[in-house]
Chain A
């Protein structure tokens, strides 16, 4: 469990092994994958993303 209690960083990182960088970021933006713990901790969110 992450310090914020919301994201398991290991599970998130494991998905990154199978996806291209753009697919990975795209799935975080679309909500299919959770944001990384740092986003919760610092309170930031993505604004713009394009392929």
Chain B
């Protein structure tokens, strides 16, 4: 047995895996008190808003894939808010923008996370809102131990934070790592929502809480703040929006049914890569060949994503068809491709522009992730994101900033992801679910922007094709390409690039360079933040979590 950073957890009662140990423990506590996987996910999700405010928050969004046992089918949760009614291409152009900016209130969409979690709780949970919110309110009010990533983010963006009064008051001077940090205004906001919602049935409370946010004092505060800051989002936009339940996009692969969101988010690009990789015997490839083949297939699939995906009609059935993929697969050669060629559609023109990936740093944020399976076989994978402390000013009375997700729209006309009022931005957020014989097998995912549908895919391939257990698959050396149009301002593109963890070794790096890849070697244990839970047909539950970054944990029994 090879060394893993921690065991693949096994048990029969329940498993919670997330990007922060406090959220995993909160979710497990819900299971121990009789809650189901969805109660646990909501509690863990709200906890992540508090303890990873540089990666997500109450102003962000949440997509999720779930398997409610009572329904017997996969369901996609869309807690992704839409572009404001006033956010037209002309309006941004009139302000002198060629791209939607990556910071400030101009980049905000309707914040969808709160509505998304509430819809999940109302439809599939069993607990009252007060009980699932108690963890988040407790950590915000009484304090939580600050992780290094928060301080690092604050230090990188200190100049910007100093210009935003409420952000400055909350986050400067940069707080100490490991010490308790409080956000009393955030605790007060959620407590006031609970106070206004209290009474009557569980469902009535949830609906009153939704109204307190989207039609009540939260919407009023947002409206006033955005108007003063010169943004487009209004109280009407919030009142008009609802989280929704949607069908999943699916693909059969090696005896499993892989479920992702429809192409309003990037999920199907994972399915498209699998449809291409289905033609390769991955288990027989050397490590360098594995990286090469997976990267070349990624380039083809992401080109389709960038040309075709959005909150629009997408020919997904054709894109996942064996005929189309046989044609596309023939484009993979022994050499690293220079090309970025969608099978159909038109790429945004920015692809010709030279830009440096990561130039959106330091204000660009990332994401969190959580997976839960319970003893009844309910399963959920959720990827909350947005509302980053470093990207938009904290609203003083609320204690948190809005998101900046509109940066994923194009201000160029005629693309599926062109900006349209009321449309969802095509994000990178990609929760995943896999079924075996119509039963839920795996819930998994990762943060990582455009790397999400690479890192999560690689862990999946290593588990399913190479036979590694969940923890081995998560621990295995990671890699990704930036030979794709960045979803983040300023939308860079790095031709032939591959970044590999140094643990691959010199031989693999040299092999990849010989094939024409522009290889960057990243430090060991720096790429990928995958977590996963699984259930075998006999009721055996499993879980694994990423050790990189020293935050993610799976718990369970």
Interface residues of A (CB under 8 A from B): 17-18, 20-23, 51
Contact = CB atoms under 8 A, between A and B. Distances in A.
Interface in B333-351: none
A40 B13 CA distance: 27
Contact of B33 (A17, A18, A21): A21
B32 A22 contact: yes
B12 A20 contact: no
B549 interface: no
A18 B34 contact: no
Contact of B12 (A17, A22, A23, A51): A17
Contacts, number: 20
A29 B436 CA distance: 40
Contact of A51 (B13, B34, B375): B34
Contact of B32 (A17, A18, A20): A20
B31 interface: yes
A17 B31 CA distance: 12
Given A20-B31, A23-B34, 18 more contacts: A17-B11, A17-B12, A17-B13, A18-B12, A18-B13, A18-B375, A20-B13, A20-B32, A20-B33, A20-B34, A20-B35, A21-B32, A21-B33, A22-B32, A22-B33, A22-B34, A51-B33, A51-B34
Contacts of B11: 17
Nearest to A23: B34
14 contacts: A17-B12, A17-B13, A18-B12, A18-B375, A20-B13, A20-B31, A20-B32, A20-B33, A21-B32, A22-B32, A22-B33, A22-B34, A23-B34, A51-B33
A22 B34 CA distance: 7
A18 B31 CA distance: 12
Contacts of B35: 20
Q: Is the interface of A mostly helix, strand, loop or mixed?
A: helix
Contacts of B12: 17-18
Contacts of A18: 12-13, 375
A36 to B, nearest CB: 17
Contacts of B34: 20, 22-23, 51
A22 B33 CA distance: 5
Contacts of A21: 32-33
B375 to A, nearest CB: 7
Contacts of A17: 11-13
The 5 closest A-B pairs by CB, nearest first: A21-B32, A20-B34, A22-B33, A20-B32, A17-B12
A18 B541 CA distance: 12
Nearest to B12: A17
Contacts of B31: 20
A26 B29 CA distance: 16
Nearest to A26: B34
A17 B32 CA distance: 11
Contacts of B375: 18
A20 B29 CA distance: 9
A18 B12 CA distance: 7
A11 to B, nearest CB: 16
Interface string B2-27: 00000000011100000000000000
A20 B30 CA distance: 9
A9 B32 CA distance: 20
Interface in B19-69: 31-35
A17 B13 CA distance: 6
A20 B31 CA distance: 6
- Residue picked from A17, A20, A22, A51, most chain B C-beta under 10 Å: A20
A51 B33 CA distance: 7
Contacts of A22: 32-34
Interface string B190-205: 0000000000000000
A51 B34 CA distance: 9
A21 B556 CA distance: 12
Nearest to B34: A20
Nearest to A51: B33
B132 to A, nearest CB: 15
Contacts of A20: 13, 31-35
Nearest to B375: A18
